[in-house]
Amino acid sequence: MAETKMVTGKVRLSYANIWEPKENESGQLKYSCALLIPKSDKETLRKIKAIIDALKVEAAAKYKGKLPTNFKLPLHDGDEEKPDDENYAGHYYLNAYANTKPGIAKPAGKDSVGNTKFVEITDTTEVYSGCYARVSLNFYTYDNKSKGIGVGLNNIVKVQDGESLAGRSSVNEDFAGEEFDDDFGGDDDDFMS
């Protein structure tokens, strides 16, 4: 049996439904996230391709040595499959899913023997579509209405902020050029009168 678990290098999160599950096409509640993997991250891509290749061999054995023609693979080329989305340019991507909420944390220094310590992130605004993370994944084969290789979402460790992909601007962006009075004490006068 192939080793199917891995940790990515630095990837960008997209469509990050990681705080609350959302209903999928089959009516099931799932946590999910698309991972944008830079094409320059050869090590992460090597690990993913090695796992996919091993699972394809195992799956082919079930189907008399040949994969079905509609066998779905999880790794996609952003330049080819999402040419109108500049965020996917220069990236491969895959979609990962979980039935239970993934662990979400950030590095918090080292322990006494030099291992990285982590602190859980509970602020739902801190990890979002557009930030960068390293992600623990588990690949598996499925054989139901369709057949293929799926990706399980285990844990997320945020490593860097990034421009939000949700199309929402920040307070700082919206009000960067605006002047405000220094008196924020709040006056009881009705400003509308």
114-167 pLDDT per residue, tens: 999 999 999 999 999 999 999 999 999 998 888 999 999 999 999 999 998 866
Lowest mean pLDDT: which of 20-29, 137-146, 182-191?
Answer: 182-191
The residues, any chain, with a CB within 8 Å of residue 73's CB and separated by 6 or more, are 52, 56, 148, 149
What SS3 state is found at 139?
Answer: strand
**Whether 132 contacts 13, CB under 8 Å:** yes
Tokens representing 6 are: 């891995």
Give the pLDDT confidence score for residue 129 in this predicted structure: 94
Q: Which helix (H) or strand (E) holds 14?
A: strand 11-23
3-class state of residue 84 by DSSP? coil
Q: What is the pLDDT of residue 192?
A: 47
Q: Which residue has the tokens 């030099």?
A: 114
Which distant-in-sequence residues (6+ apart) come within 8 Å of 86 by Cβ?
A: none
Nearest residue to 153 (alpha-carbon basis) of 13, 2, 10, 28: 13
- Residue 65: its pLDDT value, please? 83
The stretch 52-66 carries a mean pLDDT of 91
Containing H/E element for 35?
A: strand 29-38
User: What is the chain's Cα-based Rg?
Assistant: 21
Sequence-ordered list of residues with C-beta below 8 angstroms from that of 32, at least 6 positions apart, any chain: 15, 17, 18, 22, 24, 95, 96, 97, 98, 153
- Report d(CA 50, CA 9) in Å as an integer: 15
Is the model's pLDDT at 2 over the cut of 70?
no
State the Cα torsion 172-178-182-187 to the nearest 10°: -100
Q: Higher model confidence: residue 83 or residue 169?
A: 83
Residue 107 pLDDT greater than 80, yes or no: yes
Domain boundaries, the chain: 5-162
How confident is residue 191, by pLDDT bands cut at 50, 70 and 90? very low
> Which of 53-57, 92-96, 161-165 has the least mean pLDDT?
161-165
Contact 118, 106 (CB under 8 A): yes
The token pair at 181 is 């009075």
Strand partners, 83: none
Question: Is the CB of residue 129 less than 8 Å from the CB of residue 123?
Answer: no
* Architecture (CATH level 2) of domain 5-162: Beta Barrel (2.40)
Q: Does pLDDT of 168 surpass 60?
A: no
pLDDT at 110 over 50: yes
**pLDDT of amino acid 165:** 85
Mean pLDDT for 85-91 is 95
- What pLDDT is recorded for position 160? 95
